[in-house]
Structure 1
């Protein structure tokens, strides 16, 4: 990937970050997150190894802890309070990475944009590519002076259950689901207990893994557009991204932003909410 510095681009290369990492207006976030059954602890791995100067963003704590669903978006006040303490806020460019390459970092990228901070990008290839290239890491706990964070909520970037329910039969708005084809069809059980299987009516399955190269980077713009064409997604219509718990949906939003579709909403509750509700219409393989 060509090194990128344009503030409007949602991705930066490892080469670009290595060149700019010591700039005072560049702040780096480790947003690694693992599935509960993975046996891995993102905070512990951060403490052992992270990119120089990176602070740790805990997706499960910087969240609405009153919600029955995992890592839902917190109140603006909580978000601002937590990121201020991390030294993140107005006047800085935020670069976000995760251990997989591109997996959970887009969730935090989306959250910052949702809260009104647009000068934010994902490290293409993440820590995976950074380590493969032999670039330096650190184990020091990082702290910064608190920085003011101005909240400007972008309601166009988030949708809730009632909003998705209202449009799931509306062909004017498209719901794209980032889960695997087997989970989408309902032929494979959900990894979280007590959830129905299947998908939102009229939604389109766009598995996030199709967007990631073996080195953890995102596929080219041409490949993204080819996948969109093959799936019949209309870029002229509104798009809502969904997944299991609102994490990999943000990979779809990132890919769409990369090709210029920058107002993609994310269904925050995603299947963790939809699959748990008795009043949610569901399509699955045995209904076809």
Structure 2
């Protein structure tokens, strides 16, 4: 069983494993140049509906079933995801798998940047998936959260909102919705903070990340709900919390696109 946070050298030892599905969510131009041998390219747009006003919503079960069937996913498959941006789209894929109850997955620490920096083998030949037959049979309510739930619970003492957007978006200086600002009581920790820019976008030391989160009140004793604008950036935040062992962490797919465009949602701005 591969760990959730997978180092390049460890993945290199398992490239020939049966039941391993490596998914590359990098830009197509990067995939064509170099990818992990055997990795299948996935267009990240297929992980969201793309429909306004909240384009980050999770696709319906039939659409997801078709997608994962085409990728060759089975109940026994262990998925390894990576990208070229430090984990956002890889995180979104793993969150989606978690939402439909598929728990066998890993994140390649640092993605393609770390893989290349370590001199691991690469391929430039496109890998075609072997289609399977994957049926989505329900969702884990402990992975997702919708706006109605948030409206009812965002003020609960037992809950903390992790806003992964930029400082300007959180403060209400920049807005990509009708309303600017943040959900009242939300805590800000930008999605790129855990990434080590000096170490090929691997995660920084986990204890450092944990201390920074706890200093902001994002603590493992609470239900943690991650969001950004479309639950792309915040999918990586969700993944980081999972890696840190937070027991109750969920993603809000509607995110600010839904909340900030809804007439009945409360909004706060930073002083």
TM-score > 0.5 by shorter chain: yes
Q: What is the CA distance between 1:277 and its match in structure 2?
A: 1.9
Q: Please, which of 28, 31, 39 is the counterpart of residue 25 of structure 2?
A: 31
Instruction: Give distance in 2, aligned partners of 1:11 and 1:213.
Output: 15
Helix, strand or coil at the partner of 2:142: helix
Label 1:71 to 1:89 Cα distance change in 2 as closer, same or farther (>3 A): farther
Matched residue, 2:161: 175
Runs of 4+ in 1 over 6 A off after TM superposition: none
Could you state the TM-score of these two structures normalised by the residue count of structure 1?
A: 0.86
Label 1:122 to 1:177 Cα distance change in 2 as closer, same or farther (>3 A): same
Instruction: Give distance in 2, aligned partners of 1:133 and 1:116.
Output: 33
Helix, strand or coil at the partner of 1:266: strand
Matched, 1:250 2:235: yes
Could you state the TM-score of these two structures normalised by the residue count of structure 2?
A: 0.91
Q: What is the CA distance between 1:84 and its match in structure 2?
A: 1.0
Deviates more, 1:229-238 or 1:115-124: 229-238
Matched, 1:185 2:171: yes
Q: Please, which of 231, 235, 250 is the counterpart of residue 265 of structure 1?
A: 250
Q: What is the CA distance between 1:112 and its match in structure 2?
A: 0.7
Q: Is the 8 A contact 2:160 2:217 kept in 1?
A: no
The two structures, once aligned, show a CA RMSD in angstroms of 1.8
Q: Please, which of 154, 161, 186 is the counterpart of residue 203 of structure 1?
A: 186
Structure 1 residue ranges without an equivalent (≥5)? 1-5, 33-41
Instruction: Give distance in 1, aligned partners of 2:132 and 2:239.
Output: 26
How many positions carry a matched residue from both structures?
268
Matched, 1:130 2:124: no
Instruction: Give distance in 2, aligned partners of 1:65 and 1:176.
Output: 23
Q: Please, which of 140, 146, 156 is the counterpart of residue 160 of structure 1?
A: 146
Deviates more, 1:48-57 or 1:205-214: 48-57
1:70-102: per-residue Cα shift (whole Å, max 9, x none)?
A: 242111221111111111222111100001232
Matched residue, 1:236: 221
Label 1:17 to 1:195 Cα distance change in 2 as closer, same or farther (>3 A): farther
Label 1:61 to 1:102 Cα distance change in 2 as closer, same or farther (>3 A): closer
Structure 2 residue ranges without an equivalent (≥5)? none
Q: Is the 8 A contact 2:53 2:257 kept in 1?
A: no
Helix, strand or coil at the partner of 1:281: coil
Matched residue, 1:39: none
The one of the two structures with greater contact order (alpha-carbon pairs below 8 A, sep at least 6) is: 2
Matched residue, 1:35: none
Q: Is the 8 A contact 1:245 1:272 kept in 2?
A: yes
Q: Is the 8 A contact 1:106 1:250 kept in 2?
A: yes
Q: What is the CA distance between 1:132 and its match in structure 2?
A: 1.8
Helix, strand or coil at the partner of 2:170: helix
Helix, strand or coil at the partner of 1:23: coil
